């Protein structure tokens, strides 16, 4: 039984860092473990221009503690009115690494998202032409589609036709939660990959609903049945380069989650690597951990792998119930549980 594991320093290919006091509070957790991160643009107002992304990138850099190195990779929030030239300019200037498709109304701060993908056809065509990847929150939003079916229906109605229409477009199907998504990504060509969060590898929908309603297990896409979780675990630990790490760490103040209408999002940044590593160990797949965490993402995004390394040690520890920040609190993923591995730097 190995007592420590050392891998190339990983990156987080999907994270919410927020802004203001929350940004200051959460950036150190991500910067401590990850060299780079794809930063989600769903601020209020959303990050829709090169100038806004540059300014946000500076605020993130300023929040990185002395002695840590961390590079935020910025994304452009697509709307019905996105100007293809703005995307091209941002990508060519090295400001935008990718653009993000939020179907309008699908998740937190997605009200300005895209109401119909035909509205962004020209933007997507421009992206396909310059090799700019599209990050996708893959859920339909129609009232008549059950929330547990929204990812599977998105594949059939939106994603598959989109990929047929634009054979050059690179797509990251983010935070996948279903066996349908796993199967789709496995069958798709090399230009399609997926990120998987720690929570969707650890919990199924019972964690949210059995023995009381547990808002800290609620995120979008919502956790599904056990059979889906097992497929996600198989895919993540398989060694396939199509699957890589994206925490979707999404902090919301405790009171906003513990509410009659609680916000979607799980704050997993404090012990993200420990959480993933537990899964790889349970699945007997430690040899694939580095690929998932540190190699497959850069390969898909055409970026160099990180030269530094990080080490995790087998050292059981309890996860705190709460983290105090400014004048509020966050509840981390795994709160009150024990984890076997500990990030050692
Ligand atoms: N995952 C979530 O449940 N929430 C995210 C948005 C998102 O990634 O869909 C957030 O910004 O809070
Ligand atoms: Zn999302
Ligand atoms: Zn997210």
User: Which residues are CB-contacts of 37 (< 8 A; sequence separation ≥ 6)?
Assistant: 11, 12, 13, 14, 15, 17, 30, 70, 72, 73
| Element spanning 310, H or E | strand 309-318
Per-residue confidence (pLDDT) for residue 1, from 0 to 100: 77
Measured N-to-C along each axis, helices 272-282 and 20-33 cross at an angle, to the nearest 10 degrees, of 40
Q: What number of residues does the chain have? A: 345
Asked whether residue 134 carries a pLDDT value surpassing 80, the answer given is yes
CATH homologous superfamily, domain 4-343: Metal-dependent hydrolases (3.20.20.140)
Which ligand places an atom closest to the C-alpha of 252? 1
Ligand 1 atom nearest residue 14's Cα: 8
Q: How far is the CA of 196 from the centre of ligand 1 (A)?
A: 13
Q: How confident is the model at residue 59 (pLDDT cuts 50, 70, 90)?
A: very high
pLDDT digits (tens, 9 = 90+) for 229-265: 999 999 999 999 999 999 999 999 999 999 999 999 9
Ligand 1 atom nearest residue 251's Cα: 12
Percent of residues, the chain, with pLDDT higher than 90: 98
107 lines ligand 1 (CB under 6 A): yes
Q: How confident is the model at residue 224 (pLDDT cuts 50, 70, 90)?
A: very high
Query: What average pLDDT does this structure show over 279-308?
Result: 98
Nearest to 300 by CA among 182, 172, 181, 196: 172
250 lines ligand 1 (CB under 6 A): yes
Per-residue confidence (pLDDT) for residue 2, from 0 to 100: 83
User: Which residues are CB-contacts of 2 (< 8 A; sequence separation ≥ 6)?
Assistant: 286, 314
ipTM summary value: 0.99
Q: How far is the CA of 292 from the centre of ligand 3 (A)?
A: 18
Query: What average pLDDT does this structure show over 6-26?
Result: 98
Q: How far is the CA of 30 from the centre of ligand 2 (A)?
A: 18
Which ligand places an atom closest to the C-alpha of 18? 1
Q: Tokens 């950036």 label which residue?
A: 27
User: Where in the chain are the domains?
Assistant: 4-343
Asked whether residue 306 carries a pLDDT value surpassing 80, the answer given is yes
Q: Which of 111, 116, 248, 321 is catalytic?
A: 248
* CA distance linking residue 288 with residue 271, whole number of Å: 19
Query: What average pLDDT does this structure show over 305-324?
Result: 98
Residue numbering of the annotated binding site for Zn(2+): 14, 16, 100, 137, 175, 248
């Amino acid at each position: 039984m190995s007592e420590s594991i050392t891998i190339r320093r990983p990156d987080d290919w999907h994270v919410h860092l927020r802004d203001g006091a929350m940004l200051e509070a959460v950036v150190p957790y991500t910067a401590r473990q990850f060299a780079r991160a794809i930063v989600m643009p769903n601020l209020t107002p959303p990050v829709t221009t090169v100038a806004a992304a540059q300014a946000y990138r500076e605020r993130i850099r300023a929040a990185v503690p002395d002695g840590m190195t961390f590079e935020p990779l910025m994304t452009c929030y697509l709307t019905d009115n996105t100007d293809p030239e703005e995307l091209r300019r941002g990508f060519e200037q090295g400001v935008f690494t990718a653009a993000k498709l939020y179907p309008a109304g699908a998740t937190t701060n997605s009200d300005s998202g895209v109401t119909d993908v035909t509205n962004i056809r020209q933007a997507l065509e421009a992206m396909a032409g310059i090799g700019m990847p599209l990050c996708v929150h893959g859920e339909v939003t129609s009232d008549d589609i059950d929330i547990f079916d929204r990812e599977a229906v998105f594949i059939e109605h939106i994603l598959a036709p989109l990929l047929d229409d634009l054979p050059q477009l690179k797509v990251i199907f983010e935070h996948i939660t279903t066996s349908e998504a796993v199967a789709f990504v496995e069958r798709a060509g090399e230009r399609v990959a997926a990120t998987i969060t720690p929570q969707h590898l650890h919990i199924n929908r019972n964690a949210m609903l059995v023995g009381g309603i547990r808002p800290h297990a609620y995120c979008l896409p919502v956790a599904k049945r056990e059979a889906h979780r097992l497929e996600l675990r198989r895919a993540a630990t398989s060694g396939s380069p199509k699957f890589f790490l994206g925490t979707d760490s999404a902090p919301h103040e405790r009171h906003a989650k513990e509410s009659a209408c609680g916000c979607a999002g799980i704050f997993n940044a404090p012990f993200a690597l420990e959480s993933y590593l537990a899964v790889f160990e349970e699945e007997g797949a430690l040899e694939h951990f580095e690929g998932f965490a540190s190699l497959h993402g850069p390969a898909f995004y055409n970026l160099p792998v990180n030269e530094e390394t990080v080490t995790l040690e087998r050292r059981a520890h309890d996860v705190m119930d709460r983290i105090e920040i400014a004048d509020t609190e966050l509840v981390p993923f795994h709160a009150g549980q024990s984890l076997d591995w500990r990030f050692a730097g």
